[in-house]
């Protein structure tokens, strides 16, 4: 079975997440024993040759923090013409997604159980991502924790270097103060163009992004969701 702790790098002093304790189901544990070799990727292996890994050259979509994997699974299943890579630190969610992917016979999905910064820096080539997805990251509500928010100037620079020209960084949140924070950071980041032309800098939800069950519940309660799409222009 994959080592759940050592597989997630601890090299950074400030993390944008807390590794949640989660109870593994038998099926999730079995996924790591039986299908990790099929879907799992190791940060320690270094730069990923995407064409060799997937067996074809296709648009590359990467999602950071996919949780239990529902939306990523849905997109990979409905878009077999794209290659998908998920990055997550919550091992039960990784196990669940691998089980679903195997049952569905998906061949266009791979997964890192690792920190997103480590993966982008060490495993993903310059100018290779067509779309980077960051959906509902931890907003770190308290002011003293704002430094732990993933979307910061340095992270935006890292993202731009990995996107191809014209590639899109797609963020979504249901916490308006974090939406405002992300919008501010991205507006000040060089080399990006906001894809929105209305709604105060926010975009309408693209059809390719599924509604999560939590988002649907929030909509029923009258809560909002903010999508931000920024395209690499230089």
CATH number at residue 93: 3.40.50.150
Number of domains comprising the chain: 1
Residue 20 falls inside a structural domain: no
Residue 12 falls inside a structural domain: no
pTM of the model: 0.90
Predicted confidence at residue 220, as pLDDT, reads 83
Predicted confidence at residue 138, as pLDDT, reads 83
Band the pLDDT of 179: cuts 50, 70, 90: very high
Residue 5 falls inside a structural domain: no
Spatial separation of the C-alpha atoms in residues 145 and 143, rounded to whole Å: 5
Residue 33 falls inside a structural domain: yes
Q: Stretch 104-121: mean pLDDT, rounded?
A: 98
Nearest residue to 78 (alpha-carbon basis) of 110, 40, 38, 108: 108
Highest mean pLDDT among 53-67, 144-158, 207-221: 53-67
Residue 199 falls inside a structural domain: yes
Catalytic residue numbers, as ranges: 138
Whether 5 has a pLDDT exceeding 50, the answer reads no
Residue 4 falls inside a structural domain: no
Residue 76 falls inside a structural domain: yes
Residue range of the domain that includes 187:
27-232
């Amino acid at each position: 079975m994959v080592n759940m702790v050592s597989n997630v790098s601890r090299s950074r002093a400030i993390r944008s997440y807390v590794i949640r304790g989660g109870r593994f189901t038998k099926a999730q544990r079995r996924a790591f024993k039986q299908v990790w070799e099929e879907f799992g990727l190791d940060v320690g292996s270094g730069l990923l040759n995407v064409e060799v890994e997937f067996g074809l050259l296709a648009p590359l979509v990467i999602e950071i923090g996919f949780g239990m994997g529902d939306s990523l699974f849905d997109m990979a299943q409905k878009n077999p013409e794209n290659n998908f890579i998920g990055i997550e630190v919550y091992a039960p969610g990784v196990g669940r997604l691998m089980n679903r992917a195997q049952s569905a016979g998906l061949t266009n999905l791979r997964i890192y159980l690792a920190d997103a910064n480590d993966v982008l820096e060490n495993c993903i080539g310059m100018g290779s991502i067509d779309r980077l997805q960051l959906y509902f990251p931890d907003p770190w509500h308290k002011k003293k924790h704002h430094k732990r928010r993933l979307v910061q100037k340095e992270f935006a620079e890292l993202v731009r270097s990995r996107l191809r020209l014209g590639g899109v960084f797609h963020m979504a949140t249901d916490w308006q103060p974090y939406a405002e924070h992300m919008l501010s950071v991205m507006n000040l980041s060089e080399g990006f163009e906001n894809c929105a032309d209305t709604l105060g800098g926010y975009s309408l939800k693209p059809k390719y992004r599924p509604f999560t069950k939590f988002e649907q519940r929030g909509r029923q309660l009258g809560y909002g969701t903010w999508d931000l799409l920024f395209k690499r222009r230089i």
